[in-house]
Chains A and B, each alone.
Chain A
Amino acid sequence: MDNVMLKSKDVTLLEILDRVLEKGVVISGDIVISVADVDLVYVGLKVLLSSVETMERLRGAPFAGAGEEPT
């Protein structure tokens, strides 16, 4: 059961990353303070959880397929 719990938590984080890092209201230009390190955070996290396929491969088991409620 622990495995299943961890699974849905990882998956939720992946789904959050997909949205929060790339979508939403994107304001560009010099009005927004650019923080150099943030790009590295983006890259780091994306590498960590680069794709669903990778996650699935590492896990070696299919997704539960149940609805994931972000918390």
Chain B
Amino acid sequence: MKIYTYGVIDSNSGIEDSNKGIEGAHVYNIPYRDISIAVSDLDERSQKKASSGYILKHEEVAERLMESFTVLPMRFFTIFKDKEAILSMMSEYYDSFNENLNRLRGKLEFGLKVIWSGNTIKKRIAENNTGQGQNEFLSNGSQAKNYVMQKLKKYKLDQQFKEEGHKYISIVNRFFSGFAVEEKLNILKSEGLLLTASYLVEKAKQDDFKQAFERLKKSGPNDLKYLFSGPWPPYNFINLTKSEFKKA
């Protein structure tokens, strides 16, 4: 029987979860020292049916765990061949699991995506630049020189575009920074997606954090669009390292 894993929790007593996990299987936990991992058994033949329904179920179980424990959610579809394999993994990562559990105890993750009209902003910058450098560009007849000029122009445009992005981000981030313990900012993943941010927030401060978002919506830059989500288990704040021992 294969075993599907949901998350590592900071307790080794049996969990009472009457709700079901993936494929309607009973969710239970396998203890290792003072921690444990929430799992459910997985039918040998069912592995090919992984779907978005499974993903929602995975997240649902992680969130239920989050209500009673500090949880380190596993990545979707992490499956072990048996209990022995799980215990071996737990011993290998025990120290790191503990460090993460301690650091993340009493904290929640919130997500923020910020969309801007990157296209329009790029066009605007390009128009401004054309006005300034046109004469110099036209007076140079050499093909090689033109090529270099084009490259330079594009480089300059990209730099200005990024600078403009950073300006907006620093304004947005100012609304949240005081309330978050840690933050992960991913800037300009694509032209239109200005910011993908995850914030780690103390449970006690989650209402303050939500209010900060309300303030951002009201008084932040009005040409941005926001997608705020959470609270989540701390997916983005798990820093895992194997315990120090040499593998053969």
A residues with CB within 8 A of B: 11-13, 15-27, 31-33, 35, 37-38, 41, 45, 51-53, 56, 62-63, 65-71
Contacts and interface: CB of A to CB of B under 8 A. Distances in A.
B236 A23 contact: yes
A38 B50 contact: yes
Nearest to A56: B115
Contacts of A27: 74-75, 78, 89, 93
A33 B229 contact: no
Contact of B75 (A25, A51, A52, A70): A25
Contacts of B55: 16-17, 20-21, 45
A69 B110 CA distance: 10
B113 A52 contact: yes
Most buried by B among A16, A18, A22, A38: A16
Interface residues on B, range: 35 or more
Contacts of A11: 227, 229
Interface stretch (B56-64, B154-162, B167-175): B56-64
A53 B193 contact: yes
A56 B225 contact: yes
Contacts of B33: none
Most buried by B among A35, A53, A67: A67
A31 B91 CA distance: 12
B77 A51 contact: no
Nearest to A62: B225
B8 interface: yes
Contacts of A16: 55-56, 59
A15 B122 CA distance: 27
B105 to A, nearest CB: 16
Contacts of B75: 20-27
A2 to B, nearest CB: 20
B137 interface: no
Interface in B92-145: 92-93, 111, 113, 115
Given A20-B73, A25-B238, A41-B51, 6 more contacts: A19-B111, A33-B80, A33-B81, A45-B52, A63-B115, A65-B225
B51 to A, nearest CB: 7
Contact of A35 (B50, B52, B213): B50
Contacts of B60: 71
A67 B228 contact: yes
